[in-house]
Structure 1
Amino acid sequence: MKIGPQDTRASLRRRWGVPLSVATGVTALSVAAVGVLGGTEDAGPSAADPAHGGGSPVKSTPAPSPSASHGDTSGGDGSGPSSHRGTSPEAGFTVTDATTTPIDAGTVTKILSSCLGPEASQFHAVIAVRTPVASRDWDGVVVAVNSADQYVQCQSKGDKGTSQDSPPTFINDRLWGTGRTVEYFDSMLEPVATGRYLMLGAGHYTSDVAKITISYGDDPKEYPARMAGGAFVYGAALAPDTPPGPRYVGPSPSVHAYDASGKEIYNQAKDPKFTAKE
């Protein structure tokens, strides 16, 4: 199932997408939102930076309501688990690791070839990383771009690549709005073992963005995303505090963008596109 920006509703739980498939203990999410592309910075704030909600593990109580040859090596230090406890039985979770590591150029070529087929030669990778943990289907993500500044996102498993989009370049056909700072690609959640999940996602940003971080649920702690070539990716391992049900979708990831002075210029949790009531 695909959704367009016009289908994005108020629920923060849904703001990165809707379930693609739901089986016992298995959930995959694919998303669409609006934005404009641009930017080539590749910086990311440290997760231990108090100014960005990092440091020691954070406990929060929510309100009752709702690298390849072209890649980047900055950013992926999500050291230190962060624990969040919510009000519903499945709301509490702990981010156990948010560290990503580069994928070598030779493997990236194979990933893009299997993901994009004959079109692979038209794209070069801007970010290619392994996620902190591997699920049955995914252990990394590659974001690539062509000469027309069109992006693709391919999930990896070993040296094989797949895309949630059909065709993989579908993410380039979504409605982009003017005046936007961030464009979202795909975000997914999949179990990796009993009581553990992998969450990963990607997108791109405008040239005035110098840092991208990700927070989860209503936990204020922010983890740095990897950035390069105007794109960002993130990956995190999380563990629910209580055994989740078969339709567990995990906490909503929120993107935060900062300019070169360190000022927050975008917060997904405050974006009217996602907070407007249905």
Structure 2
Amino acid sequence: MKIGPQDNGASLRRRWGVPLGVATGVTAVSVAAVVALGGRGDAGPSVAGPAHGGGTPAGSTSAPSPSTSSSHGGASAESGFTITDATTTPIDAGTVTGILSSCLGPDASQYQPVLAVRTPLASADWDGVVVAVNSADQYVQCQSKGDRGSSPDSPPTFINDRLWGTGRVIEYFDSMMQPAGEGKYLVLGAGHYSSEVSKVTVSFGDDPKQYPARMAGGAFVYGAALSPDTPPGPRYMGPSPYVHAYDASGKEIYNQAEDPKFAGEQ
């Protein structure tokens, strides 16, 4: 499903909904920098004391975008969950090359990776994500499985058509969740940030705990292992992720839960 710039206000819901917005505009960094540094910022804690979310749902279960409930989409009554790990680790340069080549085909040579990380656990289809940018400052996101890459977008580079909204500091690439074994789910997402952002974090559902995202080259990536506190139903949607952005002074300058862009869908 391809969505053009005119649809940039579409739901931010994960990949079973629609693709998320994307922006253009920063300089790429080298493969060596990606591999050596793994992106700017902490990848997220190896959670010794897991974060818990849940509680009483907020009432409305029809909107598939952020709300204060841990259960969304009208398809799940389960509200409790535990984030067991939010640690991502760098992918080596040779593997990144293979991921982009298999994901982008002949277009791969036009892109340089800015972020390439493995997620805390693997699902049947994914175990990481690579974000890359071309000379026109256009981005692409490829999910990885071993040394192979794929994208739910068609073509994989279609997110390049998504443009910044006026005055925005955060824009979104793809965000998604997939089962990763009995009672476990992989949550991953990515996006773009403007120059005034110094730190990006993500929280889940109504739990206030925030986990640092990987950041490099104007892009951010997060990944987390999630377990429902009770056995989920067949259409379990999980908690919505909320992205937060901070400036150099530590002031929060963006909170996805308060983003007017999605206010009509809450």
TM-score (ref. length: structure 2): 0.83
Q: Distance in 1 between matches of 2:160 and 2:37?
A: 20
Residue 102 (structure 1) aligns with: 90
- What amino acid is aligned across from residue 232 of structure 1 in structure 2? F
Contact map agreement 1:209 1:259 (CA 8 A) in 2: yes
Q: Structure 1 36/209 Cα, relative in aligned 2: closer, same or farther at 3 Å?
A: farther
Q: Distance in 2 between matches of 1:232 and 1:82?
A: 21
Q: How does 1:53-68 map to 2 (within 5 A)?
A: 67-68=34-35
- What amino acid is aligned across from residue 143 of structure 1 in structure 2? V
Query: Which of 167, 171, 174 is the aligned partner of 1:183?
Result: 171
User: What are structure 2's unaligned runs of at least 5 residues?
Assistant: 58-76
Q: Distance in 2 between matches of 1:167 and 1:156?
A: 16
Contact map agreement 1:139 1:157 (CA 8 A) in 2: yes
Contact map agreement 1:36 1:206 (CA 8 A) in 2: no
Q: Secondary structure at the match of 2:109?
A: helix
RMSD: 2.3
Determine if the alignment matches structure 1 residue 267 to structure 2 residue 255: yes
* CA displacement at 1:72 relative to structure 2: 1.7
Between 82-91 and 131-140, the greater mean CA deviation after superposition: 82-91
CA offset digits 1:55-100 (Å, max 9, x no partner): xxxxxxxxxxxx4368526321223210112225411100000000
User: What are structure 1's unaligned runs of at least 5 residues?
Assistant: 20-28, 42-66
Length, aligned pairs only: 240
* CA displacement at 1:136 relative to structure 2: 0.2
Q: How does 1:15-34 map to 2 (within 5 A)?
A: 15-17=12-14, 19=16, 30-33=18-21
Q: Structure 1 107/244 Cα, relative in aligned 2: closer, same or farther at 3 Å?
A: same
Q: Structure 1 221/104 Cα, relative in aligned 2: closer, same or farther at 3 Å?
A: same
- What amino acid is aligned across from residue 84 of structure 1 in structure 2? G
Q: Distance in 1 between matches of 2:257 and 2:103?
A: 32
Between 69-78 and 133-142, the greater mean CA deviation after superposition: 69-78
Query: Which of 144, 149, 155 is the aligned partner of 1:156?
Result: 144
The percentage of counterpart residues that share the same residue type is 68
Residue 127 (structure 1) aligns with: 115
Residue 170 (structure 1) aligns with: 158
Q: Distance in 2 between matches of 1:181 and 1:68?
A: 26
* CA displacement at 1:275 relative to structure 2: 1.5
